[in-house]
Structure 1
Amino acid sequence: MRSIAAAAALACLLPSVAGAQAEKPPQYGGTLNIGPIYLTLSPLSWDPVDWPWKFSQDTALVYEQLFVADLSKSKRNGGPYPFVADAWLPADAIRGELAESWKWTDPLRMEIKLRQGVMFPDKPGVMASRELVADDVVESFNRLNKSPKRVAAFFDYIKNVEATDKHTVVFNFNNYNSEWDYRFGWGYYSGIVPKEVFEAGAGNWRNVNGTGPFRLTDYVQGNAVTFSKNDIYWDKETIDGQAYKLPFTDKIIYRTIKDEAAYLAALRTGKLDILESVRWSAVDELKKSAPKLQWSRWLDSGGTFLAMRVDKKPFDDIRVRRALNMAVNKQEIMSAFYGGHAELFAYPQHPDYVGYFEPLDKMPESVKELFVYDPAKAKKLLAEAGYPNGFTFDVQVCSCSPNQLELLPLVAAYLEQVGVKINIKPTEVGAFISALTTKTHAPGFFLRNGHTNPTATIRKNFVTGQPYNPSVYSDPALDKKMDGVYAERDENKRQETIKELTRNALEQATYIYLPTGYGYTAWWPWVKNYGGELRAGAERAGPIHARIWIDQDMKKAMGF
């Protein structure tokens, strides 16, 4: 709690601190408490071969990758990029992390030179400290590629990976793939894990050990993940022309807090230094009760929708799918549920994807009408499809998401007005994801699915056999065109094909598309070298967090 004396000190100190901000050098030490963007979820796995998307977030302070976002090009540093997208790095905003350099030595051969002198720290019972070598990259890739859990065809374009010397890795391609850097370089499944961790058991958090700026030193499921400073970390951060050894803080703690009121209170009382995701409905109150908080606003990097399984009746009939879209008043959801803090149309492509995204007013009429509330036409289409009295179906929703648990009943109310009833089935997160990836999920599946990037969003949502294709949609013509997108080296040509595929997929109405909301990130002013950036790769916030330093004098003066 703040004391009267602390408040008086703050009144004297804050103006001078703010005025001296540009000159004040970074400080080392302290503990950074963060409510990550998915703070209601504990880690799903510590082993990359399990292929959970969240692995990249949970381990990004420990396991590094070949490439990473060039954060010097962030908006905070005068650059063009907010670094919010869940798994998209523009081509001019990628730098080497463990890779010192890379080049095509012929059209199907990529040669990567690793940084020398990068060390794994000592991990008693697992491994002695040693240098990162090319064999670690080869082993990490091969273990993923041979896993029975791997995403179908994800690495089929790679012929093999070999270590040609201690610090050189060569990727030999079967064919060019335009996602090559994302898939094995900075993506969800790109962490470099030493063989000793695999041998000890990579799924056990106590065995986790990488080259990153922090070590994983404690984990309490449902509560917190604690990372402690790696004293032999290799990288530096340049601030005002001076290089500083990373990381700045002694500890970083990722908090797991399932109750919204609890994590908002933790932010307000300074128990959290950063809360990466704040719903719009809480912003005004927080600005009043904690006026010193800093803010950034961003359009969600995932789309929310109700997927309808096209391999099950009645959703094998496009008239039914289109009818359910027209039955939901999406404009009213945008204004009433989101308070206007949303965009009507921002999925499957994200507006940040310049060159790939087309706004709704550029779409064909067959797409536009899916976003217009027309219950009369919805009833007409249902009758034509043989359902004049509607029908009932089950919808699974993740019990981990307060937002979705509140939104789905509203969607259900709209559908009921055209005779369609749903049985809502809240499902624990592990079972929810398992049902989706094994295609044992209900005919209706309500979720927020990340955009990922301009090509992956089409692949995972609409390509045959993909684990995150909840409608189980399959179109050989679309699959073939996606193959062409991956083979195309010219980005302008890829953009045109992706636009076409996006229009075609939307016309099929495999989802009840809902508005995409704006989110907010809040942090206290003692958090420095930070501007609300959320990802430096595929869900990787670690490189961002490692560069934050805490102005401990300011924090103390503010009574925390």
Structure 2
Amino acid sequence: VGTGPFMVKEDTPGVSLSFVRNPNYWDTTTIDGVEYKLPFVDELVHPYIVDFSTVIAALRTGTLDVFWYVQLMDAEHLMVTTPELLSTPGTGGWTSIIALRTDRPPLDNVNVRRALMIGTDIEAVAMATHRAGPTYSWPIVEGIPGHVPLEELPPDVRELFVYDPVKARQMLADEGYPDGFTLELTDYAFIQHPREEIGGMVASLWERDFNIKTIFNPVEDVLYAATMVDLPGHYGKGHQDCLVPIHLLYNALSTEGIGIDNWAWYSNPEFDELLAKAEVTVDDADREAMLEALFVMALRDVPYIPFGGAYWHAMWWPWLKNFYGEWDGIAWGTPYDTLWIDQELKAEMGY
């Protein structure tokens, strides 16, 4: 849009958003020594489909050429019923988290937060809700500059990922909570995806192991994002995109991010100062070292308990050319300008 390969054609609420080829687009590509003007396709149509079962049906029947967010169970089913579909798994960089209000007692005590993370069976919760996917991917996913491998974390940070309810119980007792306490959880009113069960599952485990009672604050899905900005109560379930380090670190962890995506209301002057320096550092090695320090600092203070990301599948038909499963996300996206439809192949496949 603008100087990009496409221009908005029509936005019909509840139906679709369509784009047409920008005749003045500046870019070209060279194939076998011949230069071609981009984009290749004349029109893109993004239908608005709310119901996942309808999306899957549209993909199965060839109405959709591609869909990036096929849930694992649906993907496994499509691989059997429609083996012609191509696919690749990924998380899109999204990580499920429990946000802890670091400005409200008793969660304003970092040792209480650390105890809760040590006393949470992250692997078991992630497996029960995600089924598959990386469990260690916050605040920066593996492969992105700034990520620190689990085995390279300082011992006091690495221990946060070692489930030990006995140790956690003693830590809570040491902080004056041998008999537990009561927290308020903001959670989805209706569960639409297994990952949305994390809040309730964690609440049950904390009550069982530490006598922590939970008052549930159910919120409708359409209001959930706005509610999390000023998270009521003590903790809430959410998910964050960890592909772009500066974006996540600023919005979800800086003091200035309070009122944006800093649902934990985490505020650490040392963190803010280093982040501001990293934002203006040009040297790649120096900036990466700063991001790694911020990575460790964010984990150590436990403003969030991360559970990793659930695998989704990008699935597409073979007639969609120049697409290899690139995620339609904020860090990298689908190369819309070089996509094209092989109409002959589509006809041969009966669509």
TM (normalized to structure 1)? 0.57
Q: 2:338 matched to which residue of 1?
A: 547
Which of residues 297, 300, 303 in structure 1 aligns to 2:95? 303
Q: Assess, with a 3 A threshold, how the Cα gap between structure 1 residues 414 and 525 changes in structure 2: closer, same or farther.
A: same
1:174-200: CA deviation from partner (whole Å, max 9, x where unpaired):
xxxxxxxxxxxxxxxxxxxxxxxxxxx
Answering whether residue 185 of structure 2 is matched by residue 394 of structure 1, we say yes
Q: Assess, with a 3 A threshold, how the Cα gap between structure 1 residues 457 and 364 changes in structure 2: closer, same or farther.
A: same
Q: 1:509 matched to which residue of 2?
A: 302
**Matched residues in 2 for 1:346 and 1:320: separation?**
23
**Partner amino acid, structure 1, of 2:185:** D
1:414 CA drift (Å)? 1.9
**Matched residues in 1 for 2:39 and 2:190: separation?**
36
Which of residues 265, 274, 286 in structure 1 aligns to 2:66? 274
**Partner amino acid, structure 2, of 1:213:** P
After TM superposition, where is structure 1 displaced by more than 4 Å over at least 4 residues in a row? 397-401
Q: Assess, with a 3 A threshold, how the Cα gap between structure 1 residues 240 and 406 changes in structure 2: closer, same or farther.
A: farther
Any residues of structure 2 matched to 1:469-508 within 5 Å, and which? 469-508=262-301
Q: 2:330 matched to which residue of 1?
A: 538
Contact 2:101–2:231, Cα closer than 8 Å, also in 1: no
Local SS of the residue matching 2:113 = helix
Any residues of structure 2 matched to 1:48-447 within 5 Å, and which? 62=1, 210-339=2-131, 341-354=132-145, 356-387=146-177, 388-397=179-188, 402-417=193-208, 418-420=210-212, 421-429=214-222, 431-437=223-229, 439=230, 441-447=232-238
Which of residues 247, 258, 279 in structure 2 aligns to 1:456? 247
Local SS of the residue matching 2:29 = strand
Q: Assess, with a 3 A threshold, how the Cα gap between structure 1 residues 315 and 518 changes in structure 2: closer, same or farther.
A: same
Contact 1:296–1:522, Cα closer than 8 Å, also in 2: yes
**Matched residues in 1 for 2:153 and 2:265: separation?**
24
1:357 CA drift (Å)? 1.5
Using the aligned pairs only, state the percent identity.
29
1:331 CA drift (Å)? 1.5
Q: 1:157 matched to which residue of 2?
A: none
1:541 CA drift (Å)? 3.7
Q: Assess, with a 3 A threshold, how the Cα gap between structure 1 residues 494 and 213 changes in structure 2: closer, same or farther.
A: closer
Q: Which has the higher contact order (CA 8 A, sep 6+)?
A: 2
Contact 2:29–2:36, Cα closer than 8 Å, also in 1: yes
Contact 1:527–1:548, Cα closer than 8 Å, also in 2: yes
1:132-157: CA deviation from partner (whole Å, max 9, x where unpaired):
xxxxxxxxxxxxxxxxxxxxxxxxxx
1:295-354: CA deviation from partner (whole Å, max 9, x where unpaired):
122244122101011111221012221222123211213433333x21221110111214
Q: Which moved more, 1:467-476 or 1:210-219?
A: 210-219
Local SS of the residue matching 1:414 = helix
**Partner amino acid, structure 2, of 1:384:** D
Contact 2:130–2:195, Cα closer than 8 Å, also in 1: no
Q: Assess, with a 3 A threshold, how the Cα gap between structure 1 residues 261 and 407 changes in structure 2: closer, same or farther.
A: farther
**Matched residues in 1 for 2:78 and 2:231: separation?**
41
> How many residue pairs were aligned?
346
1:264 CA drift (Å)? 1.6
1:220-259: CA deviation from partner (whole Å, max 9, x where unpaired):
3343212223334333233333222222223211123222
1:18-54: CA deviation from partner (whole Å, max 9, x where unpaired):
xxxxxxxxxxxxxxxxxxxxxxxxxxxxxxxxxxxxx
Q: Which moved more, 1:490-499 or 1:304-313?
A: 490-499
1:249-290: CA deviation from partner (whole Å, max 9, x where unpaired):
232111232222221222111111101112222222111111
1:540 CA drift (Å)? 6.6
Over aligned residue pairs, what C-alpha RMSD do you find? 2.4
**Partner amino acid, structure 1, of 2:59:** L
Q: Assess, with a 3 A threshold, how the Cα gap between structure 1 residues 440 and 510 changes in structure 2: closer, same or farther.
A: closer
**Matched residues in 1 for 2:190 and 2:262: separation?**
20
**Partner amino acid, structure 1, of 2:12:** V
**Partner amino acid, structure 2, of 1:218:** E
Local SS of the residue matching 2:346 = helix
Q: Which moved more, 1:284-293 or 1:408-417?
A: 408-417
Task: Could you tell me which runs of 5 or more consecutive residues in structure 2 were left unpaired when the two chains were aligned.
Answer: none
